[in-house]
Structures are given as C-alpha cells and as structure tokens.
Structure 1
C-alpha cells in the first residue's frame, strides 16, 4: 500500500474517533490503532531518509531535519505533561470551593488525555521514539491547589505555543492533521485552567504576548522548540539532557 493511501486510511480512522462517543479505554485503543497506521507510513519514510534513533549519551537528541524530530519533540512534551497530571492524581491535591469535586474530576480527565497523547506518539514512532524522560517537579507543591493550577496553566499555555510553533516544520499532511487535533485539545485544557486561576481569563491573549500571541489579530501563541525547551520553560522540569540539532 502506498504512503498516501495509508495516510488517507489513518485520517478516516481518526475522523471516526473524533465523531464517536467513546470511553477512556476505547479512546486509548483507537489512538493505538491510529498510531499503528502512522507508524507504517513512518517506517517507509525511515527507509528513504535513513533516520536513526536519537538516544545517545544518557540524553536525547531531537533532530529537526525531518518529521521524526518534530514527532519526538511532541512526544517529549506529552511525556512531561502526562507525568505532571499523573503526579497530581496521586498527590491528593486539596482542591477548594463548591466545585472542588468537579475540579478534581476534570484534572483526572486531563490526565487521561495526556496519557493518550503520550502513548499515541510512542506507538506511532515505534523504534524511532526517544527514550523516557526523567522529570523534576520539586518546584511544585502538589498539595497546594494554587501551586498545581499555576503549574498546569504554565504547562498548557506552553504546550499550545509549542505545537503552534512546530506546525510549520511538519511536512507530512497526516501528521499535521493529527497535531492540529491534539493542540486544539490542549487549548481547551489551557482555557479551562486559566478560568480556574482567574475567572473570565480563558480568552486573554494579551497575557500570552511573551509566548507569541497577538490579541489584535486573534492569534494564539507560537514558540520555536529552542525557546520551549529553554531552562526557564519546559527545560526547568526535564532532568534528561535534551539536545536540538538542525533547527
């Protein structure tokens, strides 16, 4: 089967997932199947491009010479977000207010979304995937609602900017489509969490100007990978050394 036929098959399958009402387990199953189809396309591309696993010297290298670098970049960020929300779920964060139970339930939902995203990229990349990243959340007080919400807002805003900034580097249509569907979910997370932090701020693009948002044009933030992975951004929470080449 040709690559474009595989991409079309994957897109149709992904559309069925989008238009179906499925539970969390079913979502993970669908995501895995969709990732398997993408992996077949990736396998063909690997043969043509001579891609090599970027893990080296106890760290990881993201090589942006092709789509694999972009996918591994997204995989790295999804690892980080999934690890954060898993720790929230296991830390008994003391959510407050009359909607405390709803907050806790929503954070559980986000956890499953991020796990699904992480596992999707892992399955799609297969042997091309970078290894598991070691994270450091020592600066976050997971018992404090304010600390958790502040960290979640930073992660989600940065995640949206990261996907938007990586989009122009994706050459394969099927990958770009799926990245668009994932970043829209991340933006929903960001809007909800921003509203919890400060009611009515969910659409405040002015506060995201430092991440590249342009409120006057109604454009959300976009950051290049080097800025996202900087020590004062995502790099603050990643202990594994991450190198970027061919950016």
Structure 2
C-alpha cells in the first residue's frame, strides 16, 4: 500500500535534526541572513503567481522556491519507492531527501517574514513507479538547481548570503553527479552540465523558473529579473 505524505512538510517519521548544523551555519550567520526578514514588501503576488521580490531577499526566495520543489519531490520518491529500487538506491535517495528538507527549512527560517508562501507541486508528469521516470526527473531537478545557483550567484550582494549559497550548491552538485551516475555510469561530469573549460553551466532566473513552473501549481515569478509566468 502506498504511503500518503504531506509533500511540503514531510512524513511523520522525518528526523527533525538541526538544519543549521547541517547547513554549516552558526546562530550569528542566521542573524545576518534574517536581518531584513521583517520586511513584507518582498512577497508579492503577480497575476496569481508568487513573486520572489528583489535584492538579496529575492534571490534567497528564488533558492527557497527551488528547495521546496526538490524537497517535495524526494519526499514523494522515498515514501513511494519505484519498482525494483535497490537498498543502495533507497539509501542514496533518502540522504538526498534529508538534505533537501534541511535546505528548505533553512531558507524558510532565514528569510522569515519575507519568505514566499509554501508552494503546491504538480508531479503529474512523473511516473513514481518507474525508475527511469523518477531518476530522469531527479536529474532534471538537480541539474536545474546547480545551474540556478551558478547563474544567480553574481546577483548576491551580501557575503554572508553568498557563503551559504556556495555551501548549498556544493551539496546540490554532489546530488546531481550521483543521480547522473545512477542513470548512466561514468556520466557524473558529462558535457551536458560541464563545459569544455571544466566549468559547470549556468542558467538565468528566467530560464530556471520557466522549467520549474512545469512542476508547480503555484507559479513563481521574478518580475525584477525579467520573468513572469
């Protein structure tokens, strides 16, 4: 029998460990990140979509939206494993799930009152019983996440934010390499993601949200970065 879960908050047995410890952030760092969290003007609804806002808070909300999406996906994957999943694959995907939930919760706490709302996902295009469908979607989400951080990093003004983003994208890149290798052994640094200079490819906010919104019922916009669904 399939397990019913809340795709946003996770299952009842989800370990609620300290996300600050796993993000490598101190209480002082959280204070830096939350310094502007009392501002409400960053959470804007545009034509039924949720806008990320502007400035550093806008970029943090952008990352928070993507982490919500990834966390919801892996919560579903682990709660309802695909046919023929191995013990090793279960362990890998469970670890990734835990990382994504911690990332999601970290951003929610750090952004505080300026955080966008919880998003409603739409995974109707994914067959969660089929390994190729699940891992293909995982690769798309992980590759998108890495290119998103790499593409938006230059917009971050505060060094504290940039440090946290760098720590999180490093973990996302590990996820992406692992998932790629599960699909095709030896493809952990394939040319679809790493260019001829040995650099990971990057994507703009508009490009990333155009793809991410395909998995969201609650659409996300970034009007200050030239994107509106």
- Common fold by TM > 0.5: yes
Matched residue, 1:219: 199
User: For the Cα contact (< 8 Å) 1:53–1:128, is it kept in 2?
Assistant: yes
Q: TM-score, normalised by structure 1?
A: 0.78
RMSD (CA atoms): 2.2
2:89 paired with 1:81: no
Q: TM-score, normalised by structure 2?
A: 0.84
User: For the Cα contact (< 8 Å) 1:156–1:189, is it kept in 2?
Assistant: yes
Matched residue, 2:12: none
Q: Deviations over 1:204-242 (max 9, x none)?
A: 1x223xxxx42x211101001110001xx2111011122
Aligned equivalent of 1:207, options 189, 192, 210: 192
Structure holding more helix per residue: 1
Matched residue, 1:28: 19
Counting matched residue pairs gives 210
What does 1:42-57 correspond to in 2, within 5 Å?
42-45=33-36, 52-56=41-45
- Counterparts of 1:102 and 1:33, CA distance in 2: 26
Max Rg structure: 1
What does 1:80-99 correspond to in 2, within 5 Å?
80-96=69-85
Q: Report the Cα offset of residue 39 of structure 1.
A: 4.7
- Counterparts of 2:70 and 2:146, CA distance in 1: 12
2:213 paired with 1:235: yes
Match of 1:60, SS state, is strand
Aligned equivalent of 2:49, options 59, 62, 68: 59
User: For the Cα contact (< 8 Å) 2:177–2:188, is it kept in 1?
Assistant: yes
Q: 1:51 to 1:172 in 2, by over 3 A?
A: farther
Aligned equivalent of 1:164, options 150, 155, 168: 150
Q: 1:38 to 1:56 in 2, by over 3 A?
A: farther
- Counterparts of 1:113 and 1:43, CA distance in 2: 21
User: For the Cα contact (< 8 Å) 1:32–1:123, is it kept in 2?
Assistant: no
Matched residue, 1:116: 102
Q: 1:143 to 1:46 in 2, by over 3 A?
A: closer
User: For the Cα contact (< 8 Å) 2:42–2:53, is it kept in 1?
Assistant: no
Matched residue, 1:10: none
2:31 paired with 1:40: yes
Matched residue, 1:70: 59
User: For the Cα contact (< 8 Å) 2:19–2:102, is it kept in 1?
Assistant: yes
Q: 1:182 to 1:94 in 2, by over 3 A?
A: same
Matched residue, 2:90: 104
